[in-house]
């Protein structure tokens, strides 16, 4: 039996579909002025068990640690914890391990027409991480075509936590001609993280300051096409094979961290978050490639192994709850 879909309806016509498998966001239908039907803006499909969706984490809640941990190892206060590497054949860990929270069946704790709450218990040693964690994810629709996702967690021992939602967005509508790279993107960022071919950082964040540079594809402080192809020889994009980088967010990201605009200019989305960074991935592993863009608030890649990222400590303390959030506004 397939996991059920939970459908939520907002007061302004915004409709979303969720699944307990990965506490996932599978559909987002947005009304657009002058159009008879809402636009489906999430790529990846609504089948929660689709192998392609699972492999690309489409719409999933990612944890215990979203993004990459170099060498699949944690070190803190003289202690070392080996983690389960992922994906297969990698020396590193991606998105919490081979059986991360994105692939678990969560409990449905609460449901209302505009609200769903999912819960999960992650035991001590899960994917190699120390400490047991109780975690909840709350999806709620608000007036103004807004979706807010709240992440709440509490641990019984020190453990790192960086959760996100891994939705892929195409504001022109899934299935429309072309690909999602024609959308325009702006990030409220003050630095970006250089990475190698394995997407592991090669140095400290590169500052973005002074005037915005149109000739620098890593300077996304002004709306520009989210397309790496015109800059394929740029060292950062050549190393990663396109966009798959973390940007450190600047002050004010709780008001707006990112803005995405459809290629036709008729629909926009803003993202606000409590978290200090955002990973932008151009979706080239999707089928078809680049059917949607992933904008993942969280922490910079390999933050746990570095002291030069300029981010807050991501470790939970025993018995001290943690609350992070992401808000999406469409209009």
Specify the pLDDT at position 139. Answer: 99
Q: What is the pLDDT of residues 208-236, one digit of tens each?
A: 999 999 999 999 999 999 999 999 999 99
CA dihedral sign, ordered 329, 327, 172, 258: positive
- Which residue ranges make up each domain of the chain? 6-330
The DSSP result for 217-246, as a single string, is TT--SS-EE---GGGTTSHHHHHHTSSEEE
Q: Which two tokens stand for residue 13?
A: 């016509």
Q: What is the pLDDT of residues 221-280, one digit of tens each?
A: 999 999 999 999 999 999 999 999 999 999 999 999 999 999 999 999 999 999 999 999
Q: CATH top-level class for 6-330?
A: mainly beta
For 10-23, what is the mean pLDDT? 98
Q: Number of helices and strands (H, E) in the chain? A: 2, 28
- Read off the pTM: 0.97
Catalytic residues: 166, 296
Q: What is the pLDDT of residues 163-207, one digit of tens each?
A: 999 999 999 999 998 899 999 999 999 999 999 999 999 999 999
* Average pLDDT across the chain, whole number: 97
Place of tokens 């996100």: 164
The β-bridge partners of 244 are 281
Which helix H or strand E contains 153, and what residues bound it? strand 146-155
């Amino acid at each position: 039996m397939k996991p059920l879909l939970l459908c939520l309806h907002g007061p302004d016509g915004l409709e979303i579909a969720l699944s307990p498998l990965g506490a996932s966001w599978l559909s987002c239908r947005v009304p657009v002025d002058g159009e008879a039907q809402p636009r489906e803006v999430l790529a990846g499909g609504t089948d929660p068990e689709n192998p392609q969706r699972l492999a690309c984490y489409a719409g999933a809640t990612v944890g215990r640690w979203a993004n990459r941990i170099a060498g699949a190892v944690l070190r803190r206060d003289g202690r070392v914890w080996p983690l389960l590497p992922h994906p297969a054949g990698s020396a590193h860990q991606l998105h919490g391990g081979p059986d991360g929270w994105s692939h678990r069946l969560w409990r449905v704790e609460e449901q209302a027409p505009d609200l769903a709450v999912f819960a999960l218990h992650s035991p001590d040693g899960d994917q190699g991480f120390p400490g047991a964690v109780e975690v909840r994810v709350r999806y709620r629709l608000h007036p103004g075509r807004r979706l807010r996702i709240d992440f709440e967690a509490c641990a019984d021992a020190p453990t790192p936590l960086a959760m996100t939602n891994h939705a892929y967005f195409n504001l022109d509508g899934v299935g429309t001609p072309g690909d999602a790279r024609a959308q325009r993107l702006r990030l409220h960022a003050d630095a970006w993280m250089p990475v190698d071919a394995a997407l592991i950082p090669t140095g400290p964040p590169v500052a973005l300051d002074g005037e915005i540079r149109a000739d620098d594809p890593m300077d996304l402080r002004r709306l520009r096409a989210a397309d790496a192809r015109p800059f394929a020889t740029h060292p950062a994009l050549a190393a990663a094979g396109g966009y798959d980088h973390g940007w450190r967010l600047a002050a004010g990201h709780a008001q707006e961290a990112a803005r995405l605009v459809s290629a036709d200019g008729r629909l926009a989305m803003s993202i606000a978050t409590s978290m200090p960074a955002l990973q932008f991935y151009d979706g080239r592993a999707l089928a078809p490639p680049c059917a949607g863009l992933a904008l993942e608030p969280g922490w910079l890649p390999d933050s746990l192994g570095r002291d030069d990222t300029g981010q807050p400590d991501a470790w939970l303390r025993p018995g001290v709850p943690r609350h992070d959030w992401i808000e999406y506004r469409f209009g």
